Amino acid sequence: MRDFWIEVLFWLHLPIVLLWFGLFLVPLSVWPGRILFHFYYIVSIMSVQLLWGLYLHKVDIICPLTTLMQRLRGYPVTDKENYGHSFIAELFQKWGLNLSYKVVNYLLFVTLIIVSIQMF
């Protein structure tokens, strides 16, 4: 049963990530408010992750879903496999592509910068 919940938590990340990156593909002619929504979507998610990271005494973005998933996998909350883990990196690893946690974080910050430039 634990494996089932790990898989559920793993795949719960997918719609969040698809929306995060997929919104860049939605033309403003189709959704004029897309930039505003996208900006607040990214800022909200990153804020939750930053607050969770600070709660865990790390100055980093850490996904609460990942923490729960890694906890179910047997890693303590204080283990690097919790706070140094990324759904996106794990997904790419499942596809046979290595992408580090740091690269994913840089990518997330770059998208924040891009959507911020679009916003302002």
Q: What is the pLDDT along the chain (120 residues), one digit of tens a residue?
A: 999 999 999 999 999 999 999 999 999 999 999 999 999 999 999 999 999 999 999 999 999 999 999 999 999 998 988 889 999 999 999 999 999 989 999 999 999 999 999 999
From CA 77, how far away is CA 45, in angstroms rounded? Answer: 20
Q: At a CB cut-off of 8 Å and minimum separation 6, what does 23 contact? A: 34, 37, 38, 41
Handedness of CA 76, 80, 81, 87 (dihedral sign): positive
Instruction: Give the DSSP per-residue string, 78-90.
Output: TSHHHHT--HHHH
Domain range holding 105? Answer: 2-23+32-119
Q: Give the total number of structural domains in the chain.
A: 1
Is this structure's pTM higher than 0.85?
A: yes
